Amino acid sequence: MTAALKQRSSIRLDPAIKSELDWYFGACHHDLGVKSNFGPMIDRIAMYGETGKPERRAEGDTVRVGSPFGSTKDFDPFAQNDKRLGMAGKYRRIRRALMALDPILYAVIVAMYEPERLPAEVRECFDAFAGVAVHTRAARRGAAKHDVTPREWLASVSTKRNLEAIAAVMRDVELLVTKAHEAYAEVRDG
């Protein structure tokens, strides 16, 4: 396992790009105002107070919002809309850059940032790169030799601590992730 950990540590990603893609795949829906089904009730209280009755408000007016936990805060619905519009612009810029990528590189980024159900051994061994590891050439070749799926092969390799196979997969992961991030940076900045 030590060889794989050393290999993993050699992957260096631009922190700004990593943060941007973490936001896009993880937190953007919240920032854009996408709510759970509990949201409409909270929005109504936030906009109109505890009575739930609409009142005319002018731009710049704040609403005193009560919390079920006893605290209150000022809520400016217009400022909230401005923030969401800014987030929508950020979302569109990132999406446009992702859609301009080669489909294979796009798939690598999706595999890295979107959670995927994988065996615990694979997630433990390959950490944040587990989703990408499934799609590597080394995993496909190993799976073909043993007549299993790449997921099953990676689980077996991880469980048996086959350092040589893990290192081969991590070399492929490093190549794919680095190439995908560099392509994203080029499209984003260009």
Which residues are CB-contacts of 66 (< 8 A; sequence separation ≥ 6)?
A: 45, 49, 50, 72
Which residues are CB-contacts of 9 (< 8 A; sequence separation ≥ 6)?
A: none
Under 8 Å between Cβ of 154 and 170: no
Handedness of CA 133, 137, 142, 145 (dihedral sign): positive
* Angstrom distance (rounded) from CA 51 to CA 45: 8
What pLDDT, on the 0 to 100 scale, is given for residue 31? Answer: 64
Task: Provide the token pair at 43.
Answer: 């929005």
Which residues are CB-contacts of 164 (< 8 A; sequence separation ≥ 6)?
A: none
Residues (pLDDT < 70) of the chain are 1-10, 28-82, 84
User: Count of CB atoms within 10 A of residue 30's CB?
Assistant: 12
What pLDDT, on the 0 to 100 scale, is given for residue 5? Answer: 44
What pLDDT, on the 0 to 100 scale, is given for residue 53? Answer: 56
| 189 CB-side CA count, 13 A | 8
What ranges do the domains of the chain cover? 14-99, 102-190
pLDDT in tens, 14-68: 888 888 888 888 776 666 666 555 555 566 566 655 555 555 555 555 545 444 4
Distances (CA, A) of 147 to 117, 118, 137, 143: 21, 19, 15, 6
Task: Provide the token pair at 88.
Answer: 């929508």
What pLDDT, on the 0 to 100 scale, is given for residue 188? Answer: 86
The whole-model pTM stands at: 0.66
* Angstrom distance (rounded) from CA 140 to CA 146: 10
